[in-house]
């Protein structure tokens, strides 16, 4: 049994590759390497929706799912955090190089008035 994390990655990959919104059944069918129950797919989609990576929309009687952002957008978001270039930063992560110097500069600027 693959872990939930693995399933989330697999299903996100399907949605990122898909050109349009997919139903749970379509997601299930495109998972050629894995034979998952529809309920499992729905559970994982629900988790992804809760985390904000997937939106659900009702089309007729079916629910369709699509990714809220492209994979590239998400990578860009991670890199923005990682490089400390976002305007409102908390001490969320510790960088090998970079973040400290940024705060140093801001602090120095404030100290200098």
Residues lying near other proteins in the complex (CB under 8 A): 5, 8-9, 12, 51, 53, 71, 74-75, 77-79, 81-83, 90-105, 107-108, 110-111
Decide if 31 contacts 10 (C-beta within 8 A): yes
Nearer to other proteins, 62 or 107 (CB): 107
Name the nearest CA neighbour of 13 among 27, 3, 2, 23: 27
CB 72 to other proteins: min, Å = 10
Nearer to other proteins, 34 or 62 (CB): 34
Angle at 52 between CA 23 and CA 9, to 5 degrees: 65
Nearer to other proteins, 62 or 106 (CB): 106
Cα 13 to Cα 43: distance, rounded to the nearest angstrom: 16
């Amino acid at each position: 049994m693959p872990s939930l994390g693995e399933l989330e990655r697999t299903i996100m990959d399907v949605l990122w590759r898909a050109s349009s919104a997919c139903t749970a059944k379509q997601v299930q069918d495109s998972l050629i390497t894995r034979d998952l129950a529809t309920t499992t797919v729905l559970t994982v989609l629900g988790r992804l929706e809760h985390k904000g990576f997937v939106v659900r929309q009702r089309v007729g009687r079916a629910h369709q799912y699509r990714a809220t952002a492209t994979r590239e957008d998400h990578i860009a978001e991670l890199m923005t955090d990682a490089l400390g270039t976002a305007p409102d930063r908390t001490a969320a992560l510790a960088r090998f190089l970079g973040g400290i110097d940024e705060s140093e500069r801001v602090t120095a600027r404030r100290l200098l008035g």
